[in-house]
Chains A and B, each alone.
Chain A
Amino acid sequence: MLKLDNLHVSYGDIQVLWGVSLEVAENSIVALLGSNGAGKSTTLKTALGMMRPSEGKVFFRGQDITKKSTHSIVSSGLFLVPEWRGTFSTLSVLENLELGAFSSRARPLKDETLERVFTIFPILKDRQAQRAGTLSGGERQMLAIGRALMARPAMLILDEPSLGLAPLIVSNIFEVIQQINEEERVTVLVVEQNVHMALKVASYAYILENGSIVGQGTSETLLSDQQIQEAYLGI
């Protein structure tokens, strides 16, 4: 579904990605793990066309999208829920959800999708008239994911969905991610520092460090790997 091929990316003179390659198969959940500053956000920005690589290519459903603009990538079915949640605090909850269905492929299905989003997140239905700025952190993350679903994405990328949330809400969110993957048949790439949680839902994972992929494997192998355990799981 999504393939990053040998991405090299720089901010001005400083190169931050050194040949990152990864692949996400259709209908799978894949995790991209790594500590702060490893280059996770840059990888995502490049995939979404918000930054241009100096070398390498991005493919989505077999198409080269390296040079496409962000909005057209989003319209083609690849949706990112950014680390900063990406909800419009001055707009109402309903308006936020409607904006998710902005692309022409999602707009005709808007009412139907909205029903489903309200079934997955009943709290959003209760709060639909409220301004998004008044929501709590967990609710805002739900709104962000709900908004992403409104776009009828083929694939969803979640950047640090657990960031700043209470443990109970985090496991809640991850349950939803699994549910979306199974019921809505949405491919998911989840980018996390919370390795435990990510490996629980993902089938395959990549480890990013200092701008390069330093390890990869199925979740079972990674969980049993001695080095990984010491470096990331603190066991």
Chain B
Amino acid sequence: MSTHIIAQSLLSGILVGALYGIAALGLSLVFGVLKVLNIAHGELIMLGGYASFWAFNKAEVDPYVSLVIVVPLLFLVGTILHFGLFAHIVRANEEQRIKNSLLIGFGLTLIGQTLAIRYFEADERRIATEYSTDAWEFIGLRLPLVRASGLVIGIVLVILLQLFMHRTYIGKAIRATAEDWQTASLSGINVRLTYLITFALGSALAGLAGMLVSVQYSISPNIGLTWTLKALIVVVLAGLGSMPGTFLAGVLLGLAETSSALAFGSQYREMVGLVLFVIILSIRSQGLFGEQNA
């Protein structure tokens, strides 16, 4: 095995991992703040992907430009979902809340997937722009343009989110609510509104991830579970509460996948992530909220 192949697959691991990281950001945010696990997160990614796809296909809107529609659209979808469903379960205690959110997310998955098959058709789709196959070459390594864009967008996104969470009042309110919603409301923070904004923001992030999926890979109505699982693995790897940590864990997962594909063959690529996940999960059996109070 030449060093060239190793370097190339590590590079593609980093690139795919950046996308995993972006996909996980919204899930981690919502899970960390609302203590609600939205397993329909993958369906939101799918929806964002389709929104970009149709914008490109029907109106020839460049996928990156389509973000100005897709992100607000998913923000709106998140608002509606929270308002109609998740807002009703956040009053329960943590354990009950997570369990109910899992169940509701599961119901949403069923509905979303079926509707997608019906209205978007079951075919795999991808956005094929003029620059889709473009790539940079340097020291013999190939860097596909659209995949590199994911890494750049991911890094910019993490910096923006970090600024938002630490420099703005809403961001601080979100962090305060994540730690202790009761004390937050005693500080005059409107906890319900904070929950709503957080959930909608998480959905908007899923929309952005969806656009990248439809440009870099392909979308179909049943990709939801796959992406939810990827995002979950990343969240478990990273723990809750840190945006840069989540993104890095995504990159790590991408690297783990490609290097195991290199070592054991590509059919084990998907399994490595899942096995890693179960191992880390059982090490951290006290749960993901534990380390926050440390």
Contacts and interface: CB of A to CB of B under 8 A. Distances in A.
B241 A71 contact: no
Interface string A143-156: 00001000100000
B180 A86 contact: yes
Interface residues of A, number: 29
Contacts of A89: 179, 293
Q: Is the interface of B mostly helix, strand, loop or mixed?
A: helix
Contact of A147 (B172, B187, B189, B192): B187
A84 B180 CA distance: 11
A91 B172 contact: yes
Contact of A80 (B176, B180, B186, B192): B186
A119 interface: no
A91 B175 contact: yes
A189 interface: no
A210 interface: no
B57 interface: no
A151 B183 contact: no
Given A88-B175, A91-B172, A99-B176, A82 B183 contact: yes
A102 B186 contact: no
Given A82-B183, A90-B292, A75 B175 contact: no
Interface string B165-191: 000010011011001101111111111
A39 interface: no
A86 B184 CA distance: 8
B172 A151 contact: no
Given A71-B190, A71-B191, A99-B176, A88 B185 contact: no
B155 to A, nearest CB: 24
Nearest to B179: A88
Contact of A74 (B173, B180, B185, B292): B185
A135 interface: no
A133 B179 CA distance: 12
Nearest to A76: B188
Nearest to A107: B169
A102 B185 contact: no
Contacts of B184: 88, 99
A48 B184 CA distance: 13
B173 A50 contact: no
Contact of B188 (A84, A91, A103): A103
Contact of B175 (A50, A80, A90, A151): A90
A95 interface: yes
Nearest to A153: B188
A50 B185 contact: yes
A102 B175 contact: no
Interface string B140-151: 000000000000
A53 interface: no
Contact of B186 (A70, A95, A133): A70
Contacts of B186: 48, 70, 74, 79-80, 82, 86
B190 A88 contact: no
Contact of B172 (A50, A86, A98): A98
Contact of A50 (B169, B182, B187, B293): B182
A151 B293 CA distance: 25
Contacts of A88: 175-176, 179-180, 183-184
B166 to A, nearest CB: 8
B189 A71 contact: yes
A109 to B, nearest CB: 14
Given A86-B180, A90-B241, A100 B187 contact: yes
Choose among B173, B180, B241 the residue with the greatest number of A CB atoms under 10 Å from its CB.
B180
A71 B188 contact: yes
Nearest to B169: A102
B179 A90 contact: yes
A218 interface: no
Contacts of B292: 90
Contact of A70 (B173, B176, B179, B185): B185
B180 to A, nearest CB: 7
Contacts of A71: 185, 188-191
Choose among B186, B191, B192 the residue with the greatest number of A CB atoms under 10 Å from its CB.
B186
Given A74-B188, A89-B179, A151-B187, A99 B293 contact: no
Contacts of A69: 185, 190, 192
Contacts of A50: 182, 185
CB-based closest 9 A-B pairs? A74-B188, A86-B183, A70-B185, A103-B188, A71-B190, A102-B188, A88-B179, A75-B188, A88-B176
Interface of B: 169, 172-173, 175-176, 179-180, 182-192, 241, 292-293
Given A69-B185, A99-B189, 4 more contacts: A69-B190, A71-B191, A74-B188, A89-B293
Interface of A: 48, 50, 69-72, 74-75, 79-80, 82, 84, 86-91, 95, 98-100, 102-103, 106-107, 133, 147, 151
